[in-house]
């Protein structure tokens, strides 16, 4: 069902029908246009590059979360896993940039595999399993770091993974683009991706059709863990230290971004590009608030930012709830 293209619009619909179900994209465009007119320097290379350098971490996690959510699952462990990945990467960074990268990736992959194995073998809700590893990964991060930030090796090139530029783009953005080049086709046009979507649509039916349900589920959690570990590497490289206490609430930011981007939490339908839009939109709200404070006309204190963030999530979710009801 969900693989079908949208039904053709009848001629008497308003031209706005093009934007149906694209509430997030509309909001993103509106916000960008508004900001471009209101703030000098919003469209500057510096702002764009620092915005995406920072938000690439959430985008990476959002990509993994999308795969998990289209199967009807959820991964609450990604924030803790990113923190753990950043600590492991920082600890390994004296052995070279590759060692740091590998340590973070392997750490994340390990958490993802544990999630996937427990979920497929024990048949317990992903919510509970990943709530467990949410605690567990945080514990490992604090044990490995002795509960303090771990400085990365400053003589090697590890820090370039977060702070450097490549072909005029921030390295984390290049990493993100590479990940997208691999994952967008993976979700859209491979057996793995189609199976993931079918699982979310109807897991029993997918099983009866002989699809490799358990293997694909294991795969999506492994991918989510791997990307969370990668986000941890970027975190450590960008801020020069492994951060055992960072990443709190990242899972919720990612889930919000995925949902705002139009992926159904119940599974079966999802789009990575939608996730990009959703996560970018939520990040941009902060960016705009910073510019607004910079203008000095009004000062929005940090507490209001949470309120605004919540209200914004509410508005986008309501917009989508309406459009979902109109086009069943």
Interaction site with another protein (CB under 8 A): 74, 118, 122-125, 127-129, 131-136, 138-143, 147, 252, 255-256, 259, 265-266, 302-311, 313-314, 317-318, 321-322, 324-325
Minimum CB distance to another protein smaller for 20 or for 95:
20
- Pairing between β-strand 165-166 and β-strand 241-242 as defined by DSSP bridges: unpaired
Beta bridge partners of 242: 150
Distance CA 201, CA 213 (A): 12
Pick the closer one to another protein by CB: 104 or 267.
267
Q: Which is nearer to another protein, 48 or 265 (CB)?
A: 265
* Residue that is written with structure tokens 């991706």 in the block: 193
Q: Please, how many CA atoms are within 13 Å of residue 172, restricted to the half-sphere of its CB?
A: 27
Smallest distance, Å, CB 169 to another protein? 31
Question: CB-based contacts of 111: which residues, under 8 Å, 6+ apart?
Answer: 77, 81, 84, 133, 136, 137, 225, 228, 229
Determine the Cα–Cα distance for residues 36 and 190; give it in Å rounded to an integer.
39
Return the number of the residue (55 or 320) whose C-beta is nearest another protein. 320
Give me the least distance between CB of 280 and another protein, in Å please: 18
Minimum gap (Å) between residue 118 Cβ and another protein = 7
Q: How far is the CB of 243 from another protein (least distance, A)?
A: 14
CB 19 within 8 A of CB 26: yes
Nearer to another protein among residue 132 and residue 164 (C-beta): 132
How many other C-beta atoms are found inside a 10 Å radius of the C-beta of residue 188? 13
Q: For the CB of residue 180, give the shortest distance to another protein in the complex, in Å.
A: 24
């Amino acid at each position: 069902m969900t693989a079908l293209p949208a039904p053709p619009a009848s001629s008497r619909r308003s031209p706005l029908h093009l934007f149906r179900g694209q509430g997030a994209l509309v909001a993103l465009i509106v916000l960008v246009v508004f900001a471009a007119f209101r703030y000098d320097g919003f469209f500057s290379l510096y702002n764009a590059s620092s915005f995406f350098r920072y938000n690439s971490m959430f985008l990476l996690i959002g990509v993994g979360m999308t795969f998990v959510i289209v199967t009807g699952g959820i991964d609450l462990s990604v924030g803790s896993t990113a923190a753990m990945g950043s600590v492991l990467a920082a600890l390994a960074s004296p052995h070279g940039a590759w060692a740091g990268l590998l340590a973070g990736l392997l750490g994340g992959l390990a958490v993802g595999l544990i999630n996937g194995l427990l979920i497929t073998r024990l048949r317990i809700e992903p919510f509970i399993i990943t709530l467990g590893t949410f605690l567990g990964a945080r514990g490992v991060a604090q044990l490995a770091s002795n509960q303090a930030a771990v400085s990365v090796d400053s003589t090697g090139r590890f820090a370039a993974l977060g702070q450097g530029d490549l072909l005029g783009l921030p390295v984390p953005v290049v990493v993100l683009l590479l990940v997208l080049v691999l994952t967008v086709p993976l979700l859209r046009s491979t057996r793995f991706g189609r199976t993931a979507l079918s699982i979310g649509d109807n897991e029993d039916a997918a099983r009866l059709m002989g699809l490799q349900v358990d293997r694909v589920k294991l795969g999506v959690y492994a991918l989510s863990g791997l990307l969370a570990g990668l986000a941890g590497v970027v975190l450590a490289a960008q801020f020069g230290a492994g951060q055992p206490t960072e990443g709190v609430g990242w899972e919720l930011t990612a889930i919000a971004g995925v949902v705002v981007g139009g992926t159904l939490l119940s599974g079966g339908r999802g789009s990575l590009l939608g996730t990009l839009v959703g996560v970018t939109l939520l990040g941009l709200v902060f960016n705009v608030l910073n510019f607004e404070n910079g203008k000095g006309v009004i000062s929005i204190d940090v507490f209001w930012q949470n309120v605004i963030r919540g209200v914004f999530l509410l508005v986008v979710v309501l917009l989508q709830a309406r459009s979902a009801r109109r086009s069943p």
